Structure 1
Amino acid sequence: MTSTTHQHTASDLFAQALRYEHRANPYPYYEQLLRQPVIRMDDGTWLASGHREISLLLRDPRISADRLPPQHQRPIRKSLLVEDPPRHDQLRRLVTQQFVPRVMGMRDHIDALVTGLLDAHTSERAGQLDVVGDLAYPLPVTVICELLGVPREDESLFGSLARRLTRGLDPIDTQTEDEIRELQQARGELVEYLEGLIARHDATGGDDLLSGLMHSQEPDGPMDPVDLRVTLGLLLIAGHETTVNLIANGTLALLRHPDALARLRTDPDLATPLVEEVLRYDPPVQMSGRSTLADIDIAGTTIPKGSRVRLLLAAGNRDPQRFADPDRFVPDRPDNAHLGFGGGIHYCIGATLARAEAQIALTALARRLESPRLIADPPPYRENAILRGPERLPVSFTRLVPGAGEA
């Protein structure tokens, strides 16, 4: 059994990793937590940090995707992110049937969007841009809004709502009363907007994802209005917030590793394994949550039925038992079975889209920015600890060359 001393140490280390002053580099705390890959913390929550253990738990049918244990079931309709089979499978099939065909073949369009965003800053003279505000944020929010059928004039609204709502993913004890009230207000605003959006699409139709979900002729469809609203909210927020961080974290890794940047500049094929290494080395989603439906024996201990479990994905991605030299950024790392998109039946639906956006954006930055340099290192980070990434990423350059079809 785990000693009381170790329990307190794990709780303290986890609390330290969540503190804002450590947002730029929580990894030393994860490294210490890896010494015991599954451990119970002082509040009764279990923490899994080992790669093997997280992988097993992600695929264990005795684990519920709902973060709340069975005795605290939610009274409201849940999104597929926190649903279990068979309902999860039904919702996921319907979303996949409508989402995947629309994503396939989007690379040229994504490339055109990246080119346009960078063209706005093209300069023969030295200058600077904020990689987050000028590229990493507007690219995925435009793509997901186009996919779902959100009017372009409403894109800024979702940017604001998403930033406010993602703070709610962090542990409740890290949020202030004002932040909790702000979350409740933002949720209400999102519901009101989505209900109006659904009503407009119901009247006018279209060929976007929202219309597809509303009028699907598949056996699992169409979605009823409540499921539709919940699913839209999930896709709109998860569909761009994580990609913002993936592009920003990838840029940060490249600028801190000039050899990798130089290789990508001359070899765009490197973008594929490089993005996988970003997902391992500095993932946009640091952790996830589950609850147990039965006792689970793992790593020499037993997680009791009804327990809450935190899966520390970012720690598992740097587990020395799985990855050689885990704290080193290796852009073409072989056998890179990272946990950046989760695993099991809840593996990220938008993984293909996120990969394409990051590969194209990072390749464009590498090829078009001459002598790029971080203005602040570390940059200022967002408050959110789970969806972790820079708030701003100002980069200087001696020249930003015109676009020429980067992808």
Structure 2
Amino acid sequence: MTPSPLHQILDYANRADPYPIYEELRKTPVLHQDDGPYVVSTYYEIRSLLHDPRISSDARNLASTAHDPLAEADQEEQAVLPPSFLRLDPPEHDRLRRMTNRPFGPPHSPHRLDGMRQELHGIVSGLVDGIADPGRFDLVDEFSYPFPVTVICRLLGVPREDEPRFHGWADAIAASLDPDPDADPADRGKGAHDARLQLGMYLAGLIEERRKHPQNDMISALASAEGPDGAMTTMELLSTAALLLIAGHETTVNLVTNGMLTLLRNPDVLRRLRAEPGLAVPVVEELLRFEPPVQLVPQRTTLADIEIRGVTIPKGASLWLVLASGNRDPRRFDNPDRFDPDRGDIQHLGFGSGVHSCFGAPLARLEAQLALSELARRLENPRLLEDPPPYRRNAVLRGPRHLPIACDGIRP
């Protein structure tokens, strides 16, 4: 019996190239099999649903939905920390997002990210300088992972030297987002529960320290903020800090790694980027369409009956939105399987859309632009040593676990 397209997406054997599966999936824009979720795979329908107030992101609604493989994991999350604003609906979502944005970006902190540009460039340059053996190195271990981790630690006020402590917790929590049909739900639930508990205890100590001795970082600002929306409770601050710490590096690792892999597969674009640093902006936007770090959003629930392309999705149904499939929809993008940074219109779904569009998108864009332009400029004759490289198991946060590369040297 041929596995369903949904099971093929989740099958690790297809992780290196899920795009033929997405092409097949788009033939049934709203797919529902047995008692599983409703899976939407086409651009315009996904975008519409991302803006539809009848779609809930609230983890409590998902936890009450039967037959969703992620419901148990969400119940475990709520037992340790309250849902982050990512997993809430308006108005609670809007209040917490506004409060989090005050120390992060415009209009209240317009220079927060731009003021870090030189520091970010210094981190990137130092990591390239530190490549031990240009003849063979792993881009993930030596560059793509340490760069965004260092940045988010600096932004939040988390000591960089504590990375070995939270690395395992972040991996376990990120793995819990993956609807892996082969994973033991009990084992995964316990691992995520323990990781959230340990991370919550770690962040609680850090928050208490920042309240006593505030610094120029986001945790200090959030811990002392008293804006129009009041102050965050301690539990809200814990869940927000945990979200920012994990989401602030997990997706950017994939964006940078997917980006370098794509450039090495498209050497003409890599040569152009080396000669035209300004090309980094459209390159990153096209990457977010072509190889998005978040492939699908599996945690939505319908609050009412919704008709999409002649299919009625009933109230209370579990809904999965396959963003990466929408990004390759030929109804929206010409020649969608071609990597082309010269596209005149790249309104991708790489950062989602609507009220839940990626909070950290400005930072992720800046990091990827700086990282890829510096790698293109400084690596002499870079080339892949494995293609395809080994991928992480996660179908939601898709990216290579390692990216072995060789080059002839490092330019100053």
TM exceeding 0.5 = yes
Q: How does 1:184-203 map to 2 (within 5 A)?
A: 184-203=193-212
Q: How far apart are the structure 1 equivalents of 2:25 and 2:58?
A: 24
Q: How does 1:42-191 map to 2 (within 5 A)?
A: 42-66=34-58, 69=61, 72=64, 77-100=82-105, 101=109, 102-121=112-131, 127-171=135-179, 173-176=181-184, 177-191=186-200
The Cα offsets for residues 223-278 of structure 1, whole Å up to 9 and x where unpaired, read as 11000000011000001000000000000000001111011010011100110111
Residues 62 and 300 in structure 2, CA contact (< 8 A), matched pair in contact too: no
Output the amino acid matched with 1:114: V
Output the amino acid matched with 2:104: F
TM-superposed CA distance for 1:206, in Å, is 1.7
TM-superposed CA distance for 1:220, in Å, is 1.5
The Cα offsets for residues 96-127 of structure 1, whole Å up to 9 and x where unpaired, read as 1111122232221111100011011278xx52
The Cα offsets for residues 164-194 of structure 1, whole Å up to 9 and x where unpaired, read as 2110001163423444432222122111111
TM-superposed CA distance for 1:157, in Å, is 2.1
- Which residue of structure 1 aligns with residue 70 of structure 2? none
Identity %: 51
Match 1:268 to one of 271, 274, 277: 277
Residues 26 and 42 in structure 2, CA contact (< 8 A), matched pair in contact too: yes
Are 1:18 and 2:27 counterparts?
no
Indicate the larger mover: 294-303 or 53-62.
Answer: 294-303
Q: How far apart are the structure 2 equivalents of 1:93 and 1:239?
A: 17
- Which residue of structure 2 aligns with residue 31 of structure 1? 23
Match 1:311 to one of 300, 318, 321: 321
- Which residue of structure 1 aligns with residue 231 of structure 2? 222
| Runs of 5+ unmatched residues, structure 1 | 1-7, 403-407
Q: How far apart are the structure 2 equivalents of 1:284 and 1:395?
A: 20
Q: How far apart are the structure 1 equivalents of 2:263 and 2:213?
A: 45
Residues 55 and 301 in structure 2, CA contact (< 8 A), matched pair in contact too: yes
Query: Residues 226 and 94 from structure 1, CA distance in 2 versus in 1: closer, same or farther, beyond 3 angstroms?
Result: same
Residues 136 and 248 in structure 1, CA contact (< 8 A), matched pair in contact too: yes
Query: Residues 313 and 174 from structure 1, CA distance in 2 versus in 1: closer, same or farther, beyond 3 angstroms?
Result: farther
Q: How far apart are the structure 2 equivalents of 1:328 and 1:37?
A: 22
The Cα offsets for residues 120-145 of structure 1, whole Å up to 9 and x where unpaired, read as 1278xx52321111111011111111
Q: How far apart are the structure 1 equivalents of 2:180 and 2:262?
A: 30
Match 2:241 to one of 232, 239, 242: 232
- Which residue of structure 1 aligns with residue 378 of structure 2? 368
**Secondary structure in structure 2 of the residue aligned to 1:297:** strand
Residues 24 and 381 in structure 1, CA contact (< 8 A), matched pair in contact too: yes
Output the amino acid matched with 1:242: T
- Which residue of structure 2 aligns with residue 405 of structure 1? none
Residues 122 and 401 in structure 1, CA contact (< 8 A), matched pair in contact too: no
CA RMSD across the alignment: 1.8
TM-superposed CA distance for 1:66, in Å, is 2.5
**Secondary structure in structure 2 of the residue aligned to 1:342:** coil
Q: How far apart are the structure 2 equivalents of 1:173 and 1:82?
A: 22
Match 1:377 to one of 357, 377, 387: 387
The number of equivalent residue pairs is 392
- Which residue of structure 2 aligns with residue 300 of structure 1? 310
Query: Residues 68 and 31 from structure 1, CA distance in 2 versus in 1: closer, same or farther, beyond 3 angstroms?
Result: farther
Q: How far apart are the structure 2 equivalents of 1:16 and 1:97?
A: 42
Output the amino acid matched with 1:115: S
| Runs of 5+ unmatched residues, structure 2 | 66-74
Q: How far apart are the structure 1 equivalents of 2:118 and 2:96?
A: 29
Query: Residues 172 and 255 from structure 1, CA distance in 2 versus in 1: closer, same or farther, beyond 3 angstroms?
Result: closer
